[in-house]
Amino acid sequence: MSVPVLTAVAWPYANGPRHIGHVSGFGVPSDVFSRYQRMVGNRVLMVSGTDEHGTPIQVQADAEGTTPRELVDRYSRVIQDDLVGLGLSYDLFTRTSTDNHHRVTQDLFTALWDNGYVRTEKTLGAISPSTGRTLPDRYIEGTCPICGYPSARGDQCDNCGNQLDPADLINPRSRINGETPQFVETEHLLFDLPAFSKSLASWLDTRTHWRPNVLNFSRRLAEDLKPRAISRDLDWGVRIPLEGWRDAPMKRFYVWFDAVIGYLSASVEWAQRTGDPDAWKQWWCDPDAQAYYFMGKDNITFHSVMWPAILLGHNGEGDRGGEVGSFGHLNLPTEVVSSEFLTMSGSKFSTSRGTVIYVGDFLREFGPDALRYFIAVAGPENQDTDFTWDEFVRRTNFELANEWGNLVNRSVSMAAKNVGAVPEPTSPDPADEALLAQSRAAFDVVGGHLAHSRFKQAISEAMRVVGEANAYLSHQEPWKRKDDPARRDTILHTALQVVQDANTLLTPFLPHAAQKVHEALGGTGVWAAQPHREDAGTSGELGTSHSVLTGDYAGEQARWESTPIPVGRALSRPTPLFAKLDPSLGETGPSWAPIQTGE
């Protein structure tokens, strides 16, 4: 049965290019999952986009001497290039600066407001004593009252991750001119999270299949909920649709609030683009639909507590009840799939410390599948994991090139040279049967792992089949069977069948290489579809042009099954799948990369 599966991928913040730590958290795992789900015949809607509001964008635009709009236009394009280059198969990758996103955010807020889950509160806001103007959060710096970090921002501490108010900071100062801000009374909107204590806890009690670290962390958060600000004093973001707020020059929604609503707004935009404006409801309102959210661990809070609370509030299912909002009853996450951090020399990738490897640089030198493979087999699925060039080079050379690339190359080459086509098998012997049985059985095993986002186990099992096939060829030695062409052809046929099976098993991980293997086996047409960028017309407050990523992944393509390789199909000598890397790269990395330090 075909199930609607929503793949909701964390939204990259449009303040710069993405590094490989980012895409190991949200990017590659969500794409592997989506490609597998499509291959088993489920209806996947994979959505995301660039997160473009908030004070950090304004601060950076100031620093670069430009406007927030120019900045996000530039970086959303850079990020789109990275994601297309990696082959991430978004049905829609859009932006939060569209009219559609603003409207959906406002409508969802209205439901929360009407159900009484948002209240106004007078708090202290900062103004600049020298100009008398509101001083946005991001311009205020001070010592974190929770962890003591000396450079905490007005809205958040980058060291401990806690959300802050500027008035909480110890020794607050303006980043513009160093003066001490003055605090005056201002009005803010608070999302009443404590009014979801019971409903969130009982929902989390039903999420027993989650990764234990995510579930335990979420349960602890749900035991200690505090009201959370959803408005800020700034002039870049989604306007607040309330009397007296709508036209206020310095009142916008807090960026975390509008960003999580992006999953819904992107689904609505996708439906509009298909010409069936209600099509998004299959993924959001059908009780049989499933919704998987992918992110790095620093984003768990927003996906396992905040966003579910917003959905419960819209549905009228918080602890105080209410009416179902204008979108109809919306589904909560089936699962929140969080990765740990990819680190370098033991620390998080950091632009400021110069320890960063950008996706774009990586793709230009090594192409997408080597990185996708590394993230799947050695990435931070269950624990923080250090990226080293040594391990990258070793896995690329010994696993991708020697194991998989060589299996494809020698199987196809021998068949092409001796027969010129897929050879016909005769009376298979037990060794042939055993290998074929193993590769057929792997579909259930690898598929079971992928359905539960166990990527490392899934790819290891697929590569085990590759290893078995290499051992089979070494043992059977078809190149020594010139005097027995019938036996030689049976061996080569068996090997090609297992290459085809293994290629299917590896397609979610290595979609670019999978297309090449499909063609090397004499196949035609699209085996693993790739995303592309499309002009989506003009949108947004300033009417600037808007581009999105999308793709056609529903055509005749790879299916998750063992299909017999057609005897007699013409074969020619393949080109190598994976280039071997110079082993000296393992010591230093490429010249553009930061130098590794420590052990």
Residue type, 534: E
- Annotated binding-site residue? 160: yes
- Annotated binding-site residue? 285: no
Side by side, which strands form the sheet with 228-229?
A: 118-127, 182-191, 228-229
In the region spanning residues 245 to 304, those forming contacts with Zn ion, defined by CB under 5 A, are none
Of the residues 159, 182, 334, 438, which one makes contact with Zn ion according to CB under 5 A? 159
Residue type, 211: R
CB of 149 to Zn ion, least distance (A): 4
CB of 134 to Zn ion, least distance (A): 24
In the region spanning residues 570 to 599, those forming contacts with Zn ion, defined by CB under 5 A, are none
Closer residue to Zn ion, CB minimum distance, 149 or 183 = 149
**Residues 561, 422: Cα–Cα separation, whole Å:** 19
**Residues 451, 443: Cα–Cα separation, whole Å:** 12
Q: Which residue has the tokens 């995303």?
A: 531
CB of 150 to Zn ion, least distance (A): 10
- Annotated binding-site residue? 157: yes
Radius of gyration (C-alpha) of the chain in whole angstroms: 27
| Count of residues that bind Zn ion according to CB under 5 A | 7
Site string for Zn ion, 86-125 (x = CB under 5 A): ----------------------------------------
Residue type, 132: G
Closer residue to Zn ion, CB minimum distance, 145 or 467 = 145
Tokens standing for 379?
A: 């990435």
Tokens standing for 149?
A: 């970090």
Of the residues 70, 120, 160, 597, which one makes contact with Zn ion according to CB under 5 A? 160
CB of 158 to Zn ion, least distance (A): 8
Closer residue to Zn ion, CB minimum distance, 163 or 182 = 163
When asked if residue 169 is in the footprint of Zn ion (CB under 5 A), the reply is no
- Annotated binding-site residue? 351: yes
In terms of C-beta density within 10 A (0-12 exposed, 13-18 middle, 19 or more buried), how is residue 246 classed?
exposed
In the region spanning residues 122 to 151, those forming contacts with Zn ion, defined by CB under 5 A, are 144, 146-147, 149
Stretch that binds Zn ion, among 3-11, 157-165, 493-501, 588-596 (CB under 5 A): 157-165
DSSP string, 292-354: EEEEEGGGHHIIIIIHHHHHHHHHT-STT-----TT-SPPPPSEEEEE--EEETTEE-BTTTT
**Parallel, antiparallel, or unpaired: how do β-strands 140-143 and 118-127 relate?**
unpaired
CB of 141 to Zn ion, least distance (A): 12
CB of 160 to Zn ion, least distance (A): 3
CB of 146 to Zn ion, least distance (A): 5
| Contact in structure between 599 and 532 (CB atoms under 8 Å) | no
Of the residues 59, 157, 446, 505, which one makes contact with Zn ion according to CB under 5 A? 157
Side by side, which strands form the sheet with 43-50?
A: 335-339, 290-296, 4-9, 43-50, 92-95, 544-550, 532-539
Closer residue to Zn ion, CB minimum distance, 113 or 149 = 149
Closer residue to Zn ion, CB minimum distance, 57 or 157 = 157
**Residues 261, 338: Cα–Cα separation, whole Å:** 18
Name the binding residues for Zn(2+): 144, 147, 157, 160
Binding-site residues from annotation:
144, 147, 157, 160, 351
Q: Where does this chain bind Zn ion (CB under 5 A)?
A: 144, 146-147, 149, 157, 159-160
Q: Which residues are annotated as a binding site for ATP?
A: 351
